[in-house]
């Protein structure tokens, strides 16, 4: 008892001094609908001890958990879920209360039973009651969501399952008789629910697609994550598939999720179909229309039907209509197809076997469909970025029967089958010599069997909304916006910066008080590049099932066209870190459009450009015409440093968390894939061995290090191993005579230690400096590591600062230090950020000057200079396919490094 009393006394004294109140605001305007959301917050080192800090929100209920720890055990990042509410506050204040360190206080859960979530779990099902809906999930079988029930007890959705259509070939010319067609449905392996489900319950279902008919093996594994919030009638669903087929015999011809909607007991004329059109538009239809007829049932009846309300009793109808309902066709099926980002068609039919009737379509559908009735309730399902991920479809079917359905097609069955085969036949490139020669002309690094989609993934977001009765069209319009721009809460840039939880290399825009006209010019150039890419995405239609979220790499001035068809110049696949440019620009400005740009990139690069199964698991693919086509499989593309900001700001997005674990597996992939197999001096004998992997510190190790650091911070299942390896790397790497200037050395993936390269077994010192080593996030990863663990070997920090210093130093200085110079290096502008980094860490103004000089006066091919036009030129008419704004002096390599270096120089130099 005495101990408790002292503890409480100590607590009251500490309470005021250790509380931290942080404001979070909506990324866009405050949403019209708050269906609950999750967000993340950073905390400065040493402030709040995990397990003895409690969190409260200024309004609404809060569930909080720790997503990352500082090495001293204090909280680095938290995730928070707020419950749904009638209206959203403009901002929330999240208060962390608890001793900074030392004193242990057990947090009281902020429960409010009136709206808390109730979870029940049995051996075969999980049921979640949010207070507004009860959703049931199966642990086996096909129906992932077995039912969705409103608080009035009405079942408005059931038998929610996945569907897949596939075919064994494509009928290109003539005979299609040999093609086998198969249909698959979800087969559940397992389902789990989050342990803590006070304000947010997360149900995770894993499984595979199983053939209903035919002999095709089970394939296309999936993970579905359902997020349900207290007091909410919405379910956010994160849908992930991994392609594990053979591109020559497994063509996807339809991929979707279907929910059945009970309609029995509802009059046909009281059943409503709503489909989102363009710019908030909604198609208003009843299954049996009583408007526009030759005889008028009465205005009250027509108005009720149009508004989705129950029509008055039929005794009030004009009998000229009510006696003739049997002659009015009922529309059973509706189908919207968005086969391009520019247009959708929509049609309906009375039943199978009868012709479809066209409904006027539009440009870009909001991607949401509703089916239900005035009395029986209904369901709406929407796909985020519906038109951006074309070809997509929405089906409403069997609306005139007792059980209708809504199908959201992530890949439309009306489109041509998805073709993942290589786009060329190899062109006879059957030796490394030929492949390297081809690289000289198309810049494509081809190799047979490396151009495979086996193991790539795609993640989509789907929102499910339940209703007791047909909602107003305006409500569905608001929900369509909600689906496409899910509300995001974030802390302001000043606070995030102050915690130092995401590196020391960026500053809040405008924070530098001595901002001169020069920095204003640099800021305007950063803005130009952001605006340019946002505009190019739209003008060049960088959209599609696999493509959305990527940008192009190089530009063909002659054709006024990005080099979408020229080997290694096409899709960018995160080359030279545009992701870091965009995320850092978001961090320093808080701009919503930059966040959305970077978020789409996270969902692309980590999924499509990276491998999740097979030999390449943990590696990504170099830029090319097809995202998976190039034979350079490296962790420089899959590195989680590109996704880290999103991971933490989103409160620990679970799918992104999976990707970090996969990147840890790159250590195994290094054994199967030798990144420098084509370019290594043939006199060097190298046989990959887990204890002696010949790696480049920047293009290979840095990505694994980023994953290890995240694992350590998160205290994931391998965190002790990850920490141990990072510390061992930091201890052993400086023992390489020339540190990072060694470039490539032997990494022991079992303990993280480094040894001299096979070319220099005695460690006499080797100089191998590549322009590529430091342009895939190694500086940012190392800085985050140094910020995370101040105890990290000083020798390691110094070795890195030496690399930063000498890359841009004069040849004479290089020679004086290393016995030889580094040769002719490019990407000086991008590397100016290394100079700025060492200038800052060594507090050397001369070096800061050198950094700016390198940044502004690089004058090589892959850079942007103050003398560039910094403006676009409009092309239209017959010169181009569609009108475009061109900046032929911009390549994505240059833009990515210009943006990243500019941000870091503004912060560090």
Query: Applying CB under 6 A, which residues contact ligand NAG?
Result: 46, 50-51, 69, 72-73, 100-102, 112, 114-115, 189-190, 192, 206, 314, 322-323, 449, 615, 672, 762, 764, 844, 846-847
Residue with CB nearest ligand NAG?
46
CB of 371 to ligand NAG, least distance (A): 21
Which of residues 322 and 793 has its CB atom nearest to ligand NAG in the complex?
322
DSSP labels, 653-700: -HHHHHHHHHHHTHHHHHHH--TTTTTS-TTS----BTTBEEEEIIII
CB of 84 to ligand NAG, least distance (A): 10
CB of 381 to ligand NAG, least distance (A): 25
- What CA–CA distance (Å, rounded) separates 82 from 27? 15
Which of residues 409 and 454 has its CB atom nearest to ligand NAG in the complex?
454
CA-closest candidate to residue 404, choices 394, 393, 396: 396
CB of 750 to ligand NAG, least distance (A): 19
Which of residues 315 and 517 has its CB atom nearest to ligand NAG in the complex?
315
Which of residues 563 and 622 has its CB atom nearest to ligand NAG in the complex?
622
- What CA–CA distance (Å, rounded) separates 287 from 726? 63
- What CA–CA distance (Å, rounded) separates 833 from 564? 30
CB of 846 to ligand NAG, least distance (A): 4
Which of residues 540 and 815 has its CB atom nearest to ligand NAG in the complex?
815
Which of residues 69 and 747 has its CB atom nearest to ligand NAG in the complex?
69
According to DSSP, residue 389 is labeled G
Helix (H) or strand (E) segment spanning residue 56 = strand 54-57
Which of residues 149 and 841 has its CB atom nearest to ligand NAG in the complex?
841
Four-residue CA torsion sign, 506, 899, 78, 51? negative
Which of residues 72 and 342 has its CB atom nearest to ligand NAG in the complex?
72
Radius of gyration of the chain (CA): 29
- What CA–CA distance (Å, rounded) separates 574 from 416? 28
Which of residues 13 and 190 has its CB atom nearest to ligand NAG in the complex?
190
CB of 449 to ligand NAG, least distance (A): 5
State yes or no: cis peptide before 218, omega within 30 of 0.
no
Helix (H) or strand (E) segment spanning residue 899 = helix 892-908
- What CA–CA distance (Å, rounded) separates 834 from 848? 10
Which of residues 558 and 681 has its CB atom nearest to ligand NAG in the complex?
681
DSSP labels, 531-556: HHHHHHHHHTT--STTTTT--B--EE
| Tokens (6 digits) for 241 | 């598939």
| Tokens (6 digits) for 817 | 């230090």
CB of 485 to ligand NAG, least distance (A): 25
Angle in degrees, 0-180, between the axes of helices 778-788 and 828-841, rounded to the nearest 10: 20
Helix (H) or strand (E) segment spanning residue 392 = strand 392-397
Which of residues 190 and 876 has its CB atom nearest to ligand NAG in the complex?
190
- What CA–CA distance (Å, rounded) separates 705 from 161? 39
- What CA–CA distance (Å, rounded) separates 67 from 510? 30
- What CA–CA distance (Å, rounded) separates 529 from 597? 12
CB of 391 to ligand NAG, least distance (A): 29
Q: Are 42 and 499 in contact (CB under 8 A)?
A: yes
Q: Are 67 and 648 in contact (CB under 8 A)?
A: yes
CB of 768 to ligand NAG, least distance (A): 14
- What CA–CA distance (Å, rounded) separates 813 from 820? 9
Q: Are 828 and 864 in contact (CB under 8 A)?
A: no
E-assigned strand segments in 73-144: 75-82, 91-97, 118-121, 125-129, 133-138
CB of 18 to ligand NAG, least distance (A): 9
CA-closest candidate to residue 308, choices 331, 333, 332, 291: 291
CB of 51 to ligand NAG, least distance (A): 4
CB of 45 to ligand NAG, least distance (A): 7
Which of residues 591 and 661 has its CB atom nearest to ligand NAG in the complex?
661
Which of residues 51 and 794 has its CB atom nearest to ligand NAG in the complex?
51
Our measurement of the distance from residue 617's CA atom to the centroid of its chain's CA atoms, rounded to an integer in Å, reads: 18
CB of 145 to ligand NAG, least distance (A): 17
CB of 276 to ligand NAG, least distance (A): 30
DSSP labels, 290-329: -SS-SS---HHHHHHHHHTPPPPPGGGS-HHHHTTGGGSP
Q: Are 694 and 676 in contact (CB under 8 A)?
A: yes
CB of 206 to ligand NAG, least distance (A): 4
CB of 318 to ligand NAG, least distance (A): 11
Which of residues 16 and 557 has its CB atom nearest to ligand NAG in the complex?
16
CB of 645 to ligand NAG, least distance (A): 23
Q: Are 671 and 688 in contact (CB under 8 A)?
A: yes
Which of residues 137 and 581 has its CB atom nearest to ligand NAG in the complex?
137
CA-closest candidate to residue 374, choices 465, 468, 450: 468
Which of residues 449 and 687 has its CB atom nearest to ligand NAG in the complex?
449
Which of residues 62 and 379 has its CB atom nearest to ligand NAG in the complex?
62
CB of 229 to ligand NAG, least distance (A): 13
Which of residues 9 and 672 has its CB atom nearest to ligand NAG in the complex?
672
> First CA to last CA across the chain, in angstroms?
56
CA-closest candidate to residue 247, choices 637, 629, 635, 662: 629
- What CA–CA distance (Å, rounded) separates 101 from 98? 9
Contacts of 16 (CB under 8 A, 6+ apart): none
Q: Which residues pair with 407 in a beta bridge?
A: 258, 395
Phi and psi, residue 427, nearest 5°: 50, 25
> How far lies 348's CA from each of 352, 382, 397, 871, in Å?
11, 19, 9, 47
């Amino acid at each position: 008892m005495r101990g408790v009393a002292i503890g409480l006394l100590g607590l009251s004294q500490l309470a005021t001094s250790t509380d931290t109140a942080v404001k979070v605001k909506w990324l866009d305007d405050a949403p019209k609908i708050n269906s609950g959301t999750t967000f993340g917050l950073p905390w400065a080192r040493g402030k709040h001890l995990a397990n003895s800090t409690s969190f409260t929100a200024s309004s609404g209920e809060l569930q909080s958990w720790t997503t990352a720890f500082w090495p001293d055990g204090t909280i680095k990042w938290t995730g928070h879920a707020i419950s749904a509410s009638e209206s959203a506050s403009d901002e929330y204040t999240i208060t962390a209360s608890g001793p900074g360190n030392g004193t242990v206080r057990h947090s009281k859960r902020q429960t409010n039973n009136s709206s808390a979530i109730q979870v029940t779990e049995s051996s075969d099902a999980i049921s979640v009651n949010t207070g507004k809906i009860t959703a049931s999930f199966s642990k086996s079988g096909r129906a992932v969501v077995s039912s969705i029930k409103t608080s009035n007890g009405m079942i408005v959705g059931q038998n929610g399952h996945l569907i897949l259509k596939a075919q064994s070939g494509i009928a290109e010319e003539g005979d299609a008789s040999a093609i086998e067609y198969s249909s698959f449905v979800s087969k559940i392996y397992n389902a789990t629910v989050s342990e803590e489900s006070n304000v947010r319950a997360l149900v995770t279902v894993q499984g595979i697609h199983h053939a209903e008919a035919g002999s095709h093996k089970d394939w296309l594994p999936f993970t579905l994550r359902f997020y349900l919030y207290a007091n909410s009638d919405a379910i956010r669903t994160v849908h992930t598939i991994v392609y594990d087929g053979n591109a020559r015999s497994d063509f996807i011809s339809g991929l979707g999720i279907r929910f059945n909607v009970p309609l029995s007991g509802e009059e046909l004329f009281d059943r409503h179909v709503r489909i989102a059109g363009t710019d908030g538009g909604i198609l208003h239809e009843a299954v049996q229309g009583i408007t526009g007829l030759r005889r008028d049932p009465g205005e009250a009846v027509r108005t009720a039907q149009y508004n989705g309300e129950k029509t008055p009793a039929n005794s009030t109808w004009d009998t000229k209509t009510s006696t003739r309902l049997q002659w009015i066709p009922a529309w059973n099926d509706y189908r919207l197809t968005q086969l391009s980002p520019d247009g959708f068609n929509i049609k309906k039919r009375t039943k199978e076997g009868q012709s479809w009737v066209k409904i006027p379509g539009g440009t870009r559908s909001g991607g949401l469909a509703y089916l239900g009735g005035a009395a029986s309730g209904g369901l709406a399902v929407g796909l985020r970025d519906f038109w951006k991920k074309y070809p997509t479809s929405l089906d409403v079917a069997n609306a005139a029967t007792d059980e209708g359905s809504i199908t959201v097609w992530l890949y439309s069955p009306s489109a041509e089958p998805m073709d993942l085969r290589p786009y060329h036949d190899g062109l006879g490139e059957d030796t490394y010599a030929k492949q390297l020669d081809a690289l000289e002309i198309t810049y494509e690094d081809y190799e047979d069997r490396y151009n495979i989609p086996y193991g790539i993934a795609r993640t989509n977001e789907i929102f499910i909304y339940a209703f007791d009765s047909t909602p107003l069209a305006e409500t569905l319009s608001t929900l369509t916006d909600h689906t496409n721009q899910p509300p995001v809460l974030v802390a302001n840039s000043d606070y995030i910066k102050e915690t130092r939880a995401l590196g020391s290399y960026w500053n809040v825009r405008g924070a530098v008080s001595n901002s001169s006209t020069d920095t204003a010019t640099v800021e305007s150039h950063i803005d130009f590049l952001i605006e340019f890419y946002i505009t190019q995405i739209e003008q060049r239609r960088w959209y599609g099932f696999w493509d959305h979220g990527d940008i192009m790499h190089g530009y063909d001035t002659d054709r006024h066209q990005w080099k979408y068809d020229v080997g290694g110049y096409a899709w960018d696949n995160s080359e030279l870190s545009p992701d870091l440019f965009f995320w850092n620009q978001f961090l320093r400005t808080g701009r919503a459009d930059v966040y959305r740009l970077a978020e789409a990139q996270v969902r692309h690069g980590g999924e499509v450009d990276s491998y999740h199964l097979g030999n390449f698991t943990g590696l990504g693919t170099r830029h090319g015409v097809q995202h998976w086509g190039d034979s350079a499989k490296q962790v420089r593309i899959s590195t989680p440093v590109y996704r880290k900001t999103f991971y933490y700001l989103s409160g620990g997005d679970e799918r992104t968390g999976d990707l970090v674990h996969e990147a840890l597996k790159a250590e195994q992939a290094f054994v199967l894939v030798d990144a420098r197999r084509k370019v290594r001096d043939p006199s060097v004998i190298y046989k990959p061995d887990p204890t002696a992997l010949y790696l480049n510190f920047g293009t290979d190790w840095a990505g694994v290090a980023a994953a290890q650091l995240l694992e350590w911070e998160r205290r994931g299942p391998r965190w002790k191993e990850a920490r141990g390896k990072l510390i061992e790397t930091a201890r052993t790497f400086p023992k390489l005579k020339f540190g990072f200037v060694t470039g490539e050395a032997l990494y022991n993936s079992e303990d993280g230690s480094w040894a001299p390269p096979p070319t220099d077994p005695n460690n006499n010192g080797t100089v191998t400096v590549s322009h590529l080593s430091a342009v895939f996030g190694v500086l940012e990863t190392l800085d985050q590591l140094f910020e995370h663990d101040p105890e990290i070997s000083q020798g390691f920090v110094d070795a890195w600062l030496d690399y930063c210093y000498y890359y841009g130093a004069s040849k004479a200085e290089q020679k004086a230090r290393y016995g030889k110079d580094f040769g002719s290096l490019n990407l000086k502008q991008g590397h100016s950020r290394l100079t700025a980094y060492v200038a800052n860490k060594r507090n050397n103004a001369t070096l800061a000057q050198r950094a700016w000089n390198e940044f502004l006066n690089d004058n090589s091919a892959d850079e942007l200079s103050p003398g560039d036009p910094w403006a676009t030129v409009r092309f239209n008419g017959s010169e181009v396919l569609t009108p475009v704004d061109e900046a032929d002096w911009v390549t994505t390599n240059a833009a990515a490094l210009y943006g990243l270096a500019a941000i870091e120089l503004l912060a560090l130099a």
